[in-house]
Amino acid sequence: MKIRIGIDFDNTIVNYEHVFYQAARMQNLIPDHVGTSKSEVRDHLRSIDCEKDWTKLQGLIYGTQMHLAIPFAGLQDFFSLCPVPTVIISHKTLHPFLGEKYNLHEAAINWLHTQSLQHIPVFFEQTLEHKLSRIAEQQCTHFIDDLPEVLQEKNFPTHVEKILFDPNNIYGNDLADQRFTSWNECLNYILFLSANKGFENSGKPSF
């Protein structure tokens, strides 16, 4: 079996964990005592009925503040050492739903250039349906995503192995075919598959 790895972009390749706090403070949306994680910023804004501010903040970060984001640890090693073809496939609208009309695709591509990842083929799809179709069209054999609901979509290509990227270790093992908490684990798994010529085992190998 020829292995081809598809990879999601936001919160899979790009780590925004502390960016939301920085941007929210710059916009005076939160007090300094709010926790620094993305979820804590989101939960605070929702608790004070500021859902629109949360939506605008996401557009800002995925647009002009994209430079604040960093790749997840181990990502560069994954792309350097991965022995099989990879492709980035993401559900990303061209503009934010609210606020200024930043070009989100352009911001993401510029970020990839700053990380020296411009050689990786990338597809940004306007809808989830188009993302799933692109995964199939690109003949991916495995797909890595941080959202279990994407991997569990009824139209997710049936021939593609589902790999859940779970850096905060918050999900169970029953939501995907494989679940890994780091890019080093992902790399070891792909190396294992490659060494065994795509051997598909019924359980998660021990590395």
pLDDT in tens, 129-158: 999 999 999 999 999 999 999 999 999 999
Indicate whether 95 and 122 sit together in one domain: yes
User: What is the number of structural domains in the chain?
Assistant: 2
Region 42-47: mean pLDDT is 95
**Residue 202 included in any domain:** no
Question: How far apart, in whole angstroms, are the C-alpha atoms of residue 201 and residue 169?
Answer: 22
For residue 197, what pLDDT band results from cuts at 50, 70 and 90? confident
Q: Which is higher by pLDDT, 99 or 95?
A: 95
pLDDT at 202 > cutoff 50: no
**Residue 206 included in any domain:** no
Indicate whether 49 and 85 sit together in one domain: no
Taking each helix axis as running N to C, give the angle between helix 38-47 and helix 51-62, from 0 to 180 degrees, rounded to the nearest 10: 150
Nearest of 166, 155, 161 to residue 4 by alpha carbon: 161
pLDDT at 93 > cutoff 50: yes
**Residue 136 included in any domain:** yes
Indicate whether 9 and 41 sit together in one domain: no
Indicate whether 109 and 40 sit together in one domain: no
Indicate whether 78 and 105 sit together in one domain: yes
R_g over Cα of the chain: 17
Region 92-101: mean pLDDT is 86
Indicate whether 64 and 90 sit together in one domain: no
Indicate whether 141 and 185 sit together in one domain: yes
Indicate whether 64 and 153 sit together in one domain: no
Residue 201, phi-psi category: left (phi > 0), alpha (psi -120 to 50), beta (remainder): beta
**Residue 177 included in any domain:** yes
Whole-structure pTM over 0.75, yes or no? yes
pLDDT at residue number 39: 85
DSSP assignment of 194-207, as one string?
HHTTT---SSPPP-
**Residue 32 lies in domain:** 19-68
CATH of the domain at 128: 3.40.50.1000
Question: How far apart, in whole angstroms, are the C-alpha atoms of residue 43 and residue 62?
Answer: 19
Indicate whether 187 and 86 sit together in one domain: yes
For 120, the token pair is 């990786």
- First-to-last alpha carbon distance for the chain, in angstroms, is 22
**Residue 203 included in any domain:** no
Indicate whether 89 and 178 sit together in one domain: yes
Q: Which amino acid is at 41?
A: V
Residue 180 half-sphere exposure toward CB, CA atoms < 13 A: 23
Alpha-carbon distances of 3 from 83, 113, 146, 184, rounded to whole Å: 9, 25, 20, 18
Composition of the chain by helix, strand, coil, percent to 5: 40, 15, 50
